Structure 1
Amino acid sequence: MVWWWWIIPAVVGLLGLVLMVKGLGALFRGKVFGGLLGGVGGAGFMALAATAALLALDVQTYSRLTYERPVATITTRQLGPQYFEATVIQAGQGENLPAATNLYPLHGDEWRIEAQVLKWKPWANVLGLDTQYRLDRLSGRYQSIQQEINAERSVHPLTVTNTDNGLPWQISTWDTARKYRKYVDAVDTLYGGAAYMPMADGARYEVWITQSGLIARPVNDAARNASAGGWTEVN
């Protein structure tokens, strides 16, 4: 939240309230001109505060609904025809789960990352709850449907566990959301989401979680070239 967007309207509104109270006091004492001036000035400040508060609400709503955070960085190195090595750096999840780096062999033309996603309703996002995720698996993907059916496949688990208790790091959040959903219906949906991008030698991508799910972005020339020219018609 951008707190100063709320502090300014609060200060202006308080000033307006003080002026209005003083103006009413002046009217009761028979000071008509001073009372009207204070009342009008106070009302003006309060109207200005209300306008600023509405603007702050719009800014916060936009900021919260468009908020996103990094999930992983994926770099691919070509080892052979339709065969790559993917270096996956998962973002840290607090002190107990620092960033983790692993290498995975992948067959195919594209990498695909999947996650279980807990999506909150928009009003819950605005109040400060962010979409939760639990990475599930990384796999290779062929552009050709026939190869996808018949060629060699590769899939690897990505779930990060808390080494202190052996449980997925977000299990308490997920269980709490399920348990209390009937009392406070803040959960929009629990679903499986995925993102995939073409593989190329030296290509690097960043995977982000938005309030709606996973997205992937190329972050170097090799990845940008692959994502711009590497998508061909599926056959």
Structure 2
Amino acid sequence: MNTPVQIGLPQVVLFLIAVLGIGLLISSLMGLFSSRRELEVFEDEDGRRYRRWRKRRRELRWKRGTSGIIMLILAVSLLWLTFAVQSYLGLTNDIKVARVHANTFTNDPHNMDLQLTMLDKNGNPTSDERYSINGDLWRLECVMIKFPTWMNILGIHSSYKLTRLEGSYNDSKLESSSPHVVVELNGGVGDFFNQTYGNSLTKPFVDATYGNGVFEPADGKTYDIYVSQTGLYAKQASN
């Protein structure tokens, strides 16, 4: 599985804002629920006097806690802003994971010559292979691990793994009766679902696990494949 961690200046700034918000939150709560100390004077049988500080129980100080309430509102607002902005950055910062180019044969329209280039999270090629695939459309599949929203503040992108390449036919009759070629990528799906979502140790940190795929026609055009926080999608390559 690939789990990109997107750490840059925006994430650093948001982390500092979150720390400030948590600090204000703790300070404001301590200000609202503060304890008092009172000086008490005791006198024994011989007339000697003793002084002792006595700590009163914590109580809610509404009248003197106005500034604390304002700080509390400010702290919650900063934390909400941090999560909202980081979630937006995570949802809009997609990663290019592959490039696909497929051509059909003139004398064999239901077969294609396909070139698949897989990329790492920095856009560098990790493999470049050619395949002969049956069908009119190519389909690239992956498995995904979606993390809880609160983990976005750490810049953690959804995990993904490209698992399968195959073709399909536009005609449903051909789809059910014609041969298919399935290419397993990166070891396939394996026992992915049982090892992640079914594992009680990973459940607090895993929001969902699922399979996802994108398909396009073998029209001779080149497509860039991106992974978002929710799955794969394809765009025609600009170069």
Same fold (TM over 0.5): yes
Q: Once the 2 structures are TM-superposed, how far is the Cα of residue 120 of structure 1 from its aligned partner?
A: 1.9
- Confirm or deny that 1:219 pairs with 2:228: no
Q: State the 1:204 CA deviation.
A: 0.7
Q: Report if the CA contact (8 A) 1:118-1:174 is conserved.
A: no
User: How far 1:8 moved relative to its partner?
Assistant: 7.0
Cα distance 1:128–1:149, how it changes in 2: closer, same or farther (>3 A)?
A: same
User: TM-score, normalised on structure 2?
Assistant: 0.60
How far is 1:182 from its partner? Answer: 4.1
2:228 matched residue in structure 1 = 210
Q: CA deviation at 1:64?
A: 2.1
Structure 2 portions without partners, runs of 5+: 1-6, 28-68
Name the counterpart of 2:39.
none
Q: Is the 8 A contact 1:120 1:186 kept in 2?
A: yes
Which of the numbers 9, 13, 18 marks the counterpart of 1:4? 13
**TM-score under structure 1 length normalisation:** 0.61
Structure 1 equivalent of residue 101 of structure 2: 75
Q: Stretches of 4+ moved more than 4 A in 1?
A: 5-11, 43-54, 173-180
Match of 2:162 among 135, 139, 142: 135
Q: Deviation per CA, 1:111-141: give whole Å up to 9, x if none.
A: 1011222222323344433222222211111
What letter matches 1:60 in structure 2? Q
Residue 133 of structure 2 is matched in structure 1 by 106
Q: Is the 8 A contact 1:92 1:100 kept in 2?
A: no
> 1:67-106 CA deviation, whole Å, 9 max, x = no partner?
4212211011232313221110111269xx9611000112
Listed as ranges, the gaps of 5+ residues in structure 1 are 18-42, 161-167, 222-235
Q: 2:143 aligns with which of 107, 116, 119?
A: 116
Whether the 8 Å CA contact 1:139–1:154 is kept in 2: the answer is yes
1:156-194 Cα offsets, whole Å, 9 max, x none, are 12226xxxxxxx8x99x9887458634751212222221
Instruction: Report if the CA contact (8 A) 1:5-1:53 is conserved.
Output: no
Q: Which amino acid aligns with 2:96?
A: P
CA distance in 2, matches of 1:89, 1:212: 22
* Residues 65, 122 of structure 1: 8 Å contact kept: no
**Counterpart residue identity of residue 144, structure 2:** V
Q: Which has the higher helix share?
A: 1
Letter in 2 for 1:194: G
Q: Show the counterpart of 2:177.
A: 150
Query: How many residues are treated as equivalent by the alignment?
Result: 188
Distance 1:10 1:182 in 2: 27
Calculate percent identity across the aligned residue pairs. Answer: 24
* Bigger Rg over Cα: 2
Please tell me whether the aligned partners of residues 158 and 230 of structure 2 are also in contact (alpha carbons under 8 angstroms).
yes
- Counterpart AA for 2:132: P
